[in-house]
Amino acid sequence: MQFKIMVSYVLYLLLLLHISPTTAAAPAYTATDFILLNCGSSSNSNDSSRRSWDSDERSRYAPSNAATISTPSNASHQHPSVHQVPYETVRVFTSPFTYTFPVLAGPKFLRLYFYPDIYSTFNTTLSFFSVTANGFTLLSNFSAFLNSPSPSNPSFMKEFIINVEENQRLYLTFSPNSFAFVNGIEIISVPDILYLRGNDVGIKFVDTMPQIYYLKNDTALENLYRLNVGGSDVEIQDDSGPIRGMFRAWSQDEDYIRALDVSYTPHADDIQINYTAETLPYSAPEIVYKTSRKMGNESTSLDWRFLVDSGFYYLLRLHFCEIQLELEPQNDRAFKIYIDDKMVEARVDVIEWTGGTGVPIFTDYITWVPNDGRRGKKDLQLYLGALLWPPLLNGLEIFKLSDSNRNLGTANPEPVISSSPTAVTPSPLEKMTSKKSSLIYVVTGSVTTALAVVAAVSFLIFRRRRRPVKGSVSSYSRTRGSGVPQSSDLCRHLLLEEIKSATDNFDDNFVIGKGGFGNVYKGFISDASRSGSTTTPPLNMAHGNLCDHLYNSENSPLPWKQRLGICIGAAKGLHYLHSGTKCAIIHRDVKSTNILLDDKWIAKVSDFGLSKAGPTGGDHTHVSTLVKGSFGYVDPEYYMRQQLTDKSDVYSFGVVLFEVLCARPAIIHSLPREQVNLAEWAKTCYGKGTIEQIIDSNLEGQIAPESLSKFVETAIRCLRDKGIERPTMTNIVWSLEFAMQLQEAYENRGGHVEADGGISFVGVGTSFPLLDSGSSENVSRSKSSGLPTSSSDQKVMSEDVFSELMNPLGR
């Protein structure tokens, strides 16, 4: 026993010193447990890697009542980038559902496959559920739709490592909030000390070095990144193992590297990789060790950033193999390693660690990502700084560790289906340089995202309110019958110098908020600004956004007429985007938070960060583009077909109309399934004739039945499934103004509207046809009718309906 302890201690010291106890290679790994379930499928089938997947229909792993609490189904639409197996079929769970897997003791890879789509009557955009395995929470209130990589690559896999104890089975439970689903389940055994290294191997703890961290079997891991650094993607069939390996996919690192100089990736296909007893063939495949990323001769560092969840510990495994054969002596290549600004290795010499070229090695580090009081996404930085030759790295794996509550689940991503640049922070080397060079780095980092920054800031500049001088050549011409101006010239482009001048060189005092691309600045552009002088008007973002006055707020509830007036103003803004400019603009992110209210409660359409130029007409009826927008507001037709039209904005505006009426968010995950999505719930209530049951109780006694009927009907038409059946913003402006006239007439008559001209106004449930914009009778009745004249008779300028740049440009 004493001898065994001594041997373990010697091995432990050797591993800490990165010394291989032997160079004898061990055989490749063969998995003892190997389970592939194609969920929802009625027969066995092979995937693209020729692995055979079993059907889970009447499977011994599923519960006996599977047929009554789950439903197999096929995807309504198979995206071209999505493999058929295991993504063509799905099993949907309407009640808690547990798979039971009798496996051998030891750590397992547990991989869950998801493809958000519509399956029969189940729309997975509305699916939220939790997943547990042997007491670990893997996913919590999880939305596969929100976690999907992108509309162009919607399928994805979540990979976990869980240890199964002796005489224990692996229990996998899906617990739906509304309903749950999974397309595929994969379970593959893992070598005992490959990742969960127990008490035998101590891991350097970054935050309190030289303290050692022991990663034991009572921890679950989630793989977030597995990278073939400097190389191409490695498919699962090319991972280690001749027959039944672990089938790990290794991705490129291009999306995470931040280079100060152009990097290059040497390849050494002819080099022999000599595995050791410490770094076995299953540690990483040869293809990973045969490629690496280095920096150019003029650079001295490698710098990667990874988005991770705060409030968790993380395991970083760095793979090294010196493949530059001419660097045989020690000390030729030496470098430092930093993790989140903390130096974890003062001097790394791969040849010194391994004894020569072509010998792989990996080293592990544990770090803590603080949450600063609340969990969210943060950057995790890995930085390699040169001492002599430029540093290198061959492979990288990053795992999230379960917390003290045995939890790995986190909040879903923000419900914006888009990506935004990540802020660049100085690396450790740059922090040691002078203040001047640090400033240059910040500017350089800004230049890398210049297009996004200039676009975002340009759209967030106020223009001085002014009317065209009578008799001058006006840049506007009236849109027939709409009361909204038509631009006849090109939109103005702002120079970066003008933007700097307008914002006093992006002074913090001009920051009025934060958007998807960074800070939002208040500015002022005038003719005088071209000559260098500026004028700073008082802030006009006085009442915040519409959402602030509808729900989850201490603000007093808005009265009905004020809400209706805000909707009219916002509709005019969108109408101007669609019809009032020379090139039609589609906003793509219409929602209550993007409708701002000035000091006079005038609605201003804001945030053109996702705006896009619309179709040019003729055969061009739509714009093919990736889906972007906010969850709960995105047009389902646009989402399914990736074909953007102005009717996509109309759908989103319909959701806003019901937000205004019902004073609730577009999505509430905690509600019963049928009520989660406001648009779907409103359509259901409308069909049942129960709309009055979901109206904001603060509006009781305020709404004229006729006004309500017109308003609801307008909103419902906006939400029609097919864009071609939805009204235009022109129609919507007229209809909402008609609703306002009905409301005012109701109030002027003491709460009762008399019939006039053969038209009878009745309560909710009557269908009012949307009115043709070509006839003034549709909005302005005769004097004898008692209905007021439309406010559209007053000329509306674009600055009356936008909070940002006049004539905003689409992307």
Name the residue among 561, 562, 522 with its Cα closest to residue 546.
562
Q: Tell me: do 676 and 773 sit in the same domain.
A: yes
* DSSP 8-state secondary structure symbol assigned to residue 802: B
Question: Do 413 and 143 form a contact (C-beta atoms < 8 A)?
Answer: no
Domain presence at residue 17? no
Domain presence at residue 107? yes
Q: Tell me: do 457 and 367 sit in the same domain.
A: no
- Interatomic CA distance for residues 199 and 177, integer angstroms: 39
189, 217, 250 - which closes a domain: 189
156, 189, 222 - which closes a domain: 189
Domain presence at residue 72? yes
Give burial (CB, 10 Å; 0-12/13-18/19+) of 346: exposed
Name the residue among 156, 178, 99, 104 with its Cα closest to residue 133.
99
- Interatomic CA distance for residues 35 and 45, integer angstroms: 13
Q: Tell me: do 217 and 183 sit in the same domain.
A: no
- Which residue ranges of the chain lie beneath pLDDT 70? 1-28, 240-244, 259-269, 295-300, 325-332, 372-375, 388, 414-493, 512-518, 525-540, 581-582, 616-626, 751-811
Name the residue among 513, 528, 404 with its Cα closest to residue 459.
513
* Per-residue tokens: 78: 């198979």
Question: Which residues share a beta bridge with 38?
Answer: 55, 184
160, 189, 218 - which closes a domain: 189
- Interatomic CA distance for residues 89 and 77, integer angstroms: 11
Q: Tell me: do 166 and 83 sit in the same domain.
A: yes
Q: Tell me: do 61 and 182 sit in the same domain.
A: yes
Provide the phi-psi class of 549: left if phi over 0, else alpha when psi is between -120 and 50, else beta: alpha
Active site residues: 589
Q: Which residues contact 366 (CB under 8 A, 6 or more apart)?
A: 203, 204, 205, 206, 213, 215, 313, 314, 315, 316, 401
Domain presence at residue 406? no
How do 518-521 and 524-525 pair as beta strands? unpaired
Q: Tell me: do 96 and 227 sit in the same domain.
A: no
Q: Tell me: do 111 and 243 sit in the same domain.
A: no
Amino acid of residue 314: Y
Q: Tell me: do 257 and 169 sit in the same domain.
A: no
Q: Tell me: do 89 and 170 sit in the same domain.
A: yes
CATH code (residue 211): 2.60.120
CATH code (residue 753): 1.10.510.10
Cis preceding linkage at 210, omega within 30: yes
Question: Do 529 and 701 form a contact (C-beta atoms < 8 A)?
Answer: no
Q: Rounded to 5 degrees, what are φ and ψ at 737?
A: -65, -35
Q: Tell me: do 285 and 234 sit in the same domain.
A: yes
Name the residue among 114, 115, 93 with its Cα closest to residue 176.
93
Domain residue limits at 74: 34-189
Q: Tell me: do 368 and 284 sit in the same domain.
A: yes
Question: Do 741 and 689 form a contact (C-beta atoms < 8 A)?
Answer: no
Domain count, the chain: 4
Domain presence at residue 216? yes
Domain presence at residue 23? no
Domain presence at residue 520? yes
For the chain, give the longest Cα–Cα distance.
Answer: 108
Long-range contact list for 69-72, CB < 8 A, 24+ apart?
Answer: 69/93, 69/94, 69/95, 69/96, 69/97, 70/94, 70/95, 70/97, 71/120, 71/122, 72/39, 72/40, 72/41, 72/42
Q: Tell me: do 602 and 718 sit in the same domain.
A: yes
Domain presence at residue 624? yes
